[in-house]
Amino acid sequence: MSAAAKLVFPAPDAPAPGIPVEVAPGILWLRLALPFALNHVNIYLIEDGPGWAVLDTGINDARSRAWWEALLAGPLAERKPTRLICTHFHPDHVGLAGWLANRCGLELTMSRTEYLTTQLHRRWAETTEIEAYRAFFTANGLDETAIGSILERDIGYRWLTTDLPSSFLRIASGDVVTIGGRRFEVLTGGGHSPELVMLLCREDGVFLAADQVLAKISPNVSVWPQEPASDPLGDFLHTLAALRAAVPAGVLTLPAHNLPFRNLHARIDELTRHHADRCDAIAQACREPLLPAEIVPKLFPRRLDAHQTGFAFGETLAHVNYMLRAGRMRAEPGDDGRMRVRAA
Ligand SMILES: [Zn+2]
């Protein structure tokens, strides 16, 4: 029996977009739509005295703003948002943070790295760094169409997010945040984003996992051109091991995508195995030296569009960098001066 079969989904029917439902005592689950292949994000509202602490916001588009306006005029009219916590810099999580904080007079709580990374990504479209990034992708073997799609996505970040408040309240691993009299331990994770915030209410057995552990999707773990030698897969696997040790097996996990589930440890084991299998597949594929982009079709045999190729490339490079560090691969320059990798 696979670990997936052991996951339990206590609330198998997701709420309709924009309609909050109680998923755990004092925690509302809200879904907002996304205009991507991954078509939704889960937002949570945590009871906080007279109102609700909001965890993540959805993307900056007209539809999400309209849902928030309807919520503020309807279900949240009496009990208003009290504060805003954003888990990480991706636009489906932080997209409306500036707008919502301004609209409702809320203080924004984030980890420092996620706040700064949001600011960094918002200014990309204004810089000439784009040409340096293009060179990075070319050196790794990506074609012009895929490169164009990746750069378009990165520039698009600016329009999918709103200006953050000029100051924020920092939270970090080891902090305890009190929300409505309940203690939530702050855990942070790496790999999917640099300092992703998760909240654990040990007393009530509830774990708000953001994108670190999802039931159906393997969270994207990618190398980005600003930090070409980074090891996000190492960070991600390290975080999974730390979560397995720190978070009790019996918690209800409330993730930012897919359904809430039980049996977190089984899912952690499955994700860990998935990446080990992928490393083995890369070692198999790289008996001859290859450019990183040449490995992508060997790992993802189905046809990928340019957008998917961008993610698949970043994910492949994450595995390559991890294996280079572990001594399982080595890099060697080709006749054209571009670096290729092969199994060690
Ligand atoms: Zn994310």
- Per-residue pLDDT for 125 more than 70? no
How far away, in angstroms, is 336 Cα from ligand 1 center?
Answer: 36
80 within 8 A of 54, measured Cβ to Cβ = no
How far away, in angstroms, is 194 Cα from ligand 1 center?
Answer: 10
The per-residue pLDDT of the chain, averaged, comes to 95
How far away, in angstroms, is 203 Cα from ligand 1 center?
Answer: 27
pLDDT of residue 130: 83
- For 295-344, the pLDDT digits (tens) are 999 999 888 887 788 889 999 999 999 999 999 999 999 999 999 999 99
Mean pLDDT of 248-277: 98
How far away, in angstroms, is 7 Cα from ligand 1 center?
Answer: 22
pLDDT class for 112, splitting at 50, 70, 90? very high
How far away, in angstroms, is 168 Cα from ligand 1 center?
Answer: 20
For the chain, what is the radius of gyration of the CA atoms? Answer: 20
Identify which has the larger pLDDT, 10 or 226: 10
Question: Which protein residues have a CB closer than 5 Å to ligand 1 (ion)?
Answer: 90, 211
How far away, in angstroms, is 176 Cα from ligand 1 center?
Answer: 23
How far away, in angstroms, is 90 Cα from ligand 1 center?
Answer: 5
64 within 8 A of 93, measured Cβ to Cβ = no
pLDDT of residue 132: 86
pLDDT class for 1, splitting at 50, 70, 90? very low
How far away, in angstroms, is 212 Cα from ligand 1 center?
Answer: 8
pLDDT of residue 181: 95
pLDDT of residue 5: 54
How far away, in angstroms, is 89 Cα from ligand 1 center?
Answer: 7
How far away, in angstroms, is 93 Cα from ligand 1 center?
Answer: 7
Identify which has the larger pLDDT, 141 or 307: 141
71 within 8 A of 78, measured Cβ to Cβ = no
Mean pLDDT of 216-243: 96
Query: What pTM does this model have?
Result: 0.96
How far away, in angstroms, is 167 Cα from ligand 1 center?
Answer: 22
Q: How many Å from the N-terminal Cα to the C-terminal Cα in the chain?
A: 34
- State both tokens at 258: 């897919």
DSSP string, 56-119: ----SSHHHHHHHHHHHHTTTSSS-EEEEE---SSHHHHTTHHHHHHHHTPPEEE-HHHHHHHH
pLDDT of residue 127: 66
How far away, in angstroms, is 46 Cα from ligand 1 center?
Answer: 20
- For 279-299, the pLDDT digits (tens) are 999 999 999 999 999 999 999
| Angstrom distance (rounded) from CA 213 to CA 271 | 8
Half-sphere exposure of 151 (CA within 13 A, CB side): 21
What sign does the CA torsion over 258, 33, 243, 157 have? positive
How far away, in angstroms, is 83 Cα from ligand 1 center?
Answer: 21
Angle value at C-alpha 38, between 33 and 42, nearest 5 degrees: 50
How far away, in angstroms, is 61 Cα from ligand 1 center?
Answer: 17
So what's the architecture of 3-343 in CATH? 4-Layer Sandwich (3.60)
In percent, how much of the chain has pLDDT > 90? Answer: 87
